[in-house]
Amino acid sequence: MFSYNFKYELKSLLRSKWLILLTIILLTLVLFAGYSGKKKVNKRVFDIEKANNTVKEQDITVLKVLDSIEKGFVINQNLRSLPTNPMNIGYSYPRVAAMYPLETAFISTGQSDLFTHYVQPKAYGDSFFFNHAEFSSPIQLLFGSFDLAFVIIYILPLIIIAFSYHIFSLEKENGSLKLMASQPISIYKWILQKTMLRFFVLSVIVVLVLTIAFIINNYNFVENLAEYLYFLLLTLTYILFWFTVVLLINIKVNNSAKNAVSLLAIWVFIILIIPAIIAQAANTFYPIPSRTKMITDVRALKDDVSKKQDKILDNFLRDHPEYASNKKQNYSFWHKYLASQDLVEDEVKPLIKSYETQLLKQQQWVKLWQYSSPAIILQQSFNDIAGTSTTHYQEYRTQVAKFSAKWRDFFVPLLYNNEKFSTKLYKQLPTFEYKKPKYTSLLFKASIVLIMSMFFLLITRILFYNKSKKGTIIN
């Protein structure tokens, strides 16, 4: 009986225009999303490369000058800006601390439009105040990006709803359900098979279309196979979840128009309302301390410290670091600056940390409550796969702060030992490499979505049983 059912449903699916329309819509959406995602990633790489190239060019000139000085040639250059002064290198020739996109970055824009992907920490300046905000049109941020994650999380369920909202009720309304009941197959088995067949067909189309998008984007399947498979697995469990919801509503409501309305309400709740409520709750329970207050606090603190600094640092030099290296005294501006900088940083640390901890707490809250909506689970997982989650950027910020300290610390001994900077030391300059953080197992997340689907399926079975006992399934 299964094969009859399967054959009939497949034939009627293939014959209807729905399937072609569905494929075309999905293909267009996915290809456009994949294309614009890739375009963003390319721009990101291009920007980083450009900065890297500038550094390389500068390096060549500086190395030449250093080489000439070491060989004893006379250099026609302003004495203050000679690269033999280590602090000049530390201030004027910073490295690029870049966060290169992962191969999978095109999947989900995540937080990547908010934050910068490369900074150049200098030996001078507040490393804790490092500005990680990116220049982008706020309207763009408000509307968000059209990426693969959006197509899968928002649009795919709507397609499933539009495709199957009357999968059962239509049979009842057309009167074919009564005929079906006279056949030697249980109605429940039959509708389950019918739904699963649709799930199967849609899954094949989605996997195909997504794979095409990956291939077009030159995805390296050999190296990043796991990410690709996880991405598909999550998408498939999400599709399954929505089909079980559709089935449940079909059995429960069993009226085409009412089905559609109920399904839509569920869509709005799972995708719009629940995430908004959880985000709001995170802000309410773990409010980020006021930045306005922080600004005034930090300034008051700096004011305090600078009063202490006055003993070691004379005002003029603090305002004019560029004069400092000119002074031929034992303790230059840099000596005093670096000393006072540590003082400021130590004092400000707890304040700055309060923001990071609060954000961490918010994230833990979201991590816990993401299981209230498969849409959140998917968004979080996609951001994790794409390397564009809040955690990724927070990790990057931490790594940059560490690198910034390392960069400064590289020059401190040179400065205090009165050592000159040389070509040999140039090779030892610290470099930055971004290491991505670990995240919750994707397999675990996929299985949670699967369990949700199974739960809905179970409820459907119970409902069906109760309804058929009462005899309200067919009539």
Partner 1 sequence: MIFHVVKKELQETLRDGRFKISTAIVFVLLTVSLVLTFNQYQYNNAQYIEAQKNERSLWEEQGEKNPHSAAHYGNYVFKPKSPLSLIDQGVEKYTGISIFLEAHNRNEAQFSNASDQTALSRFGELTPSFILLYILPLILILIGYDAYTKELEKGTFAILKSQGISNTKLLFGKWLSVLIPIVTITTLLFLFGGLILSNTSDIGVFNWEALGVLYIVYLIYYLILTNIVLFISLIAKKSGVALVSSLVFWVLACFITPKIASNIADSKYPYPTNQEFSKRVAEDRKKGLDGHNPWSEEAKKLEEEVLRKYNVDSVHKLPFNYSAYRMQKGEEYQAKVYAKHYSWLDEQAQKQEKVYKSTSMISPFLPTRFLSMAISRTDYQSHRDFSEKAETYRVKTQEFLNGLTEKNSRYGERYVASANAWKKLPKFEYKPPPFSQILNSNTPMMLILIVWFAVTGAVLFFINKNH
Contact between 312 and partner 1 by CB under 8 A: the answer reads no
Contact between 316 and partner 1 by CB under 8 A: the answer reads yes
List the one residue from 71, 72, 74, 133 that touches partner 1 (CB under 8 A): 133
What are residue 97's DSSP bridge partners? 119
| CB-based contact 93:62 (threshold 8 Å) | yes
Binding mask 91-130 for partner 1 (x = CB under 8 A): -------------------xx--xxxxxxx----------
Which one, 173 or 457, has the nearer CB to partner 1?
A: 173
Run of H or E including 98: strand 97-98
Q: Which backbone phi and psi does 115 adopt, to 5 degrees?
A: -115, 155
Using CB atoms within 10 A of its CB, is residue 464 exposed (0-12), middle (13-18) or buried (19+)? buried
- Residue 143 C-beta: closest distance to partner 1, Å: 4
List the one residue from 14, 79, 215, 272 that touches partner 1 (CB under 8 A): 272
- Residue 14 C-beta: closest distance to partner 1, Å: 21
- Residue 2 C-beta: closest distance to partner 1, Å: 29
Residue span binding partner 1 (CB under 8 A) among the ranges 67-75, 187-195, 208-216, 295-303: 295-303
- Taken in order 41, 141, 401, 399, is the CA torsion positive or negative? negative
Q: Which of residues 203-232 bind partner 1 (CB under 8 A)?
A: none
Which one, 55 or 463, has the nearer CB to partner 1?
A: 55
Using CB atoms within 10 A of its CB, is residue 121 exposed (0-12), middle (13-18) or buried (19+)? buried
Q: Which of residues 41-60 bind partner 1 (CB under 8 A)?
A: 43, 47, 50-51, 54
Q: Which backbone phi and psi does 119 adopt, to 5 degrees?
A: -135, 160
Beta-carbon contacts of 431 under 8 Å, excluding residues fewer than 6 positions away, are 95
List the one residue from 6, 18, 130, 154 that touches partner 1 (CB under 8 A): 154
Which one, 18 or 426, has the nearer CB to partner 1?
A: 18
Q: Which of residues 273-292 bind partner 1 (CB under 8 A)?
A: 273, 275-280, 282-284, 288, 290-292
- Residue corresponding to tokens 């640092």: 313
Q: Which of residues 249-268 bind partner 1 (CB under 8 A)?
A: 256-258, 260-262, 264-265, 268
Q: Which backbone phi and psi does 259 adopt, to 5 degrees?
A: -55, -50
In whole angstroms, what separates CA 131 from the centre of its chain?
Answer: 19
Contact between 134 and partner 1 by CB under 8 A: the answer reads yes
Q: Which backbone phi and psi does 97 adopt, to 5 degrees?
A: -100, 95
Residue span binding partner 1 (CB under 8 A) among the ranges 158-166, 226-234, 338-346, 411-419: 158-166
List the one residue from 11, 39, 56, 178 that touches partner 1 (CB under 8 A): 39
Q: Which two tokens stand for residue 20?
A: 């072609």
CA angle 315, 321, 323 (to 5 degrees): 95
- By CB under 8 A, the count of residues binding partner 1 is 91
Which one, 296 or 472, has the nearer CB to partner 1?
A: 296
Q: Which of residues 411-440 bind partner 1 (CB under 8 A)?
A: none
Residue span binding partner 1 (CB under 8 A) among the ranges 7-15, 69-77, 239-247, 354-362: 354-362
Q: Which backbone phi and psi does 118 adopt, to 5 degrees?
A: -155, 140
Which one, 178 or 293, has the nearer CB to partner 1?
A: 293
- Residue 355 C-beta: closest distance to partner 1, Å: 7
| CB-based contact 239:202 (threshold 8 Å) | yes
Contact between 136 and partner 1 by CB under 8 A: the answer reads yes
Which one, 11 or 299, has the nearer CB to partner 1?
A: 299
| CB-based contact 421:84 (threshold 8 Å) | yes
Question: Alpha-carbon distance 66 to 73, whole Å?
Answer: 10
Q: Which of residues 62-91 bind partner 1 (CB under 8 A)?
A: 78
List the one residue from 15, 142, 218, 222 that touches partner 1 (CB under 8 A): 142
Which one, 69 or 98, has the nearer CB to partner 1?
A: 98
Which one, 149 or 412, has the nearer CB to partner 1?
A: 149
Q: Which backbone phi and psi does 68 adopt, to 5 degrees?
A: -60, -45
List the one residue from 88, 235, 309, 389 that touches partner 1 (CB under 8 A): 389
Residue (of 90, 43, 144, 104) closest to 419 by Cα position: 90
| CB-based contact 86:421 (threshold 8 Å) | yes
Question: Alpha-carbon distance 170 to 164, whole Å?
Answer: 10
Question: Alpha-carbon distance 399 to 119, whole Å?
Answer: 11
